Structures are given as C-alpha cells and as structure tokens.
Structure 1
Amino acid sequence: MAKIPTKETIKRRTISDMKALGVHKPQYNRLIDIYSELVFQYLKLNDEFESEGYKYETYTAAGGAKKSPIVATLENLRKDILAYSDRLCLNPKAIENVTAEKKDKSKLASVLSSLE
C-alpha cells in the first residue's frame, strides 16, 4: 500500500498541472479544493478496499449478494472526479475544447522577436 498524499499535496499538484497546461486561474481554487478532497477520499477508500482484500460483494439478510457499499462509493467518487477534472481541464478530452489564454508579450519581447 502506497502512502496517500494529503489533500494539500493533491491541491498543489493540481494547480501545478493546470498552470503547465495554461488553464489555471485563482478563481478556480474553490473547485480545486473540492476536486482535491474527492481525490483524497478516493485514494483513502481505495487503500481501505485493497487492505480488506477487494471484497466487492456483501450478502443480504435474504441470502442474496449485492454490491459492497465501498464499491458503490468508489464508483460515485470516480464519476465526480471525472466531472471535476473535465471542468478543470485536467484530462485530454476536456483540454481539446479549451483555448488557453496567452499573455500579451511585453513591448521589449515583441521588438526582440521581430528582429529574428
């Protein structure tokens, strides 16, 4: 079992990834907080699921089998993480549809690039 990163570590990495992709703005930080919490919960629950031996079914009082609650929770977290990663442009499909804003060049940079 690997060490699970903290929510703050996940948040810092997410912001770093978004900056590298050119899609980060400080206004997105509340969404990034939620996304980071979801990823942290997913990693923690997945670790617990692994340590319990991947028990994906539980038995009902009637004798039937149903999906384990932890499996249902992991599935819901995956869907939520995917939705947030789309909004934050952190997956290939979402980034295809976004044009990152490019900062204007300074006057000096414009003059220097025209000399080339």
Structure 2
Amino acid sequence: MTGVKTKKQFKSAITREMRSLGVYKKEYNNLIDIYAGMLHQYQLFEYYFEESGYQITEEYTNKAGATNQRKVPLLTAMESLRKDIVSYSDRLCLNPKTLFSEPPKNEGNTGSPLDQFLASQK
C-alpha cells in the first residue's frame, strides 16, 4: 500500500502541526494518538475504496430472502470516521474553525478549547 502513512507518522505530523500553531501540550497525547489512528484508518479505507473501483452499493440478501442494493459497509465506515475526524480536529485546534474562533466569554475561561474540554472532564 504505497503512500499510506503509519499511525506513528500521523502522530508525529499532528504534534509538529500543533507545536507550529502553539496549541500543543503533552497532556493532549492520548487524544493525538486516537486522532492519528483515525487518520490512518481513513487513509486505509480510501485505499480499499479506490481498489474496489469506488463501489458504492452491493447486492444484499436479508433474512427474509429479499435481495436489495445497500451501501457498502466500507463507505458507511468512512462517513462515520469522517465525522469523528472533524470532531477531533476541532478539539485539537487543527482547523480554521477552532483555531480562529473566540472562546466563549465565561468567567474563569482560560486556555484553548482543548484545555477547556479537558478541564470539564475532571
């Protein structure tokens, strides 16, 4: 699978990007690890989707014996993963939406959106 980055390569790139943006803290490493894994999975899914000739549907026979067309499970997994990737990129301040948005004006609100999220989990 030429061109597919490893999870470790993604994690290194994410950390480098976060440092460049000034939003990296070692406390974020668990979230970074999960995000890197999702990016790696998505890239693998893209590879397999391309290999399938971008097959969108397949025949499926249900328990009652009826045969219908359904979306291929790989595409469903990609759609779900895409949403999770966007959510994690928000938390890690790796997209323009979160990087340039102002934090809510609450008393005691300090730090990045990720700091605020982690503090709320305690």
Q: TM-score range by the shorter chain?
A: 0.7 to 0.9
Where does the alignment leave 5 or more consecutive residues of structure 2 unmatched? 104-110, 112-122
Q: What TM-score results when the alignment is normalised by the length of structure 1?
A: 0.80
Q: Which runs of 4+ in 1 moved over 3 A?
A: none
Q: What corresponds to 1:90 in structure 2?
A: 94
The residue type equivalent to 1:29 in the other structure is N
Where does the alignment leave 5 or more consecutive residues of structure 1 unmatched? 102-116
Q: What corresponds to 2:71 in structure 1?
A: 67
Q: Deviations over 1:13-44 (max 9, x none)?
A: 00000011110000000000000000000000
After TM superposition, give the deviation of residue 81 of structure 1 in Å: 0.5
Partners of 1:63 and 1:12 lie apart in 2 by 46
Partners of 2:49 and 2:27 lie apart in 1 by 35
Q: What corresponds to 2:56 in structure 1?
A: 56
Which one scores higher on RCO, CA 8 angstroms, separation ≥ 6? Answer: 1
Q: What corresponds to 1:3 in structure 2?
A: 3
Q: Deviations over 1:81-113 (max 9, x none)?
A: 0000000000100111267x7xxxxxxxxxxxx
* Number of equivalenced pairs: 100
Give SS of 1:10's match. Answer: helix
Q: What corresponds to 1:13 in structure 2?
A: 13
Q: What corresponds to 1:43 in structure 2?
A: 43
Structure number with larger C-alpha Rg: 1
The residue type equivalent to 1:21 in the other structure is L
Alpha-carbon RMSD across the aligned residues, in angstroms, is 1.6
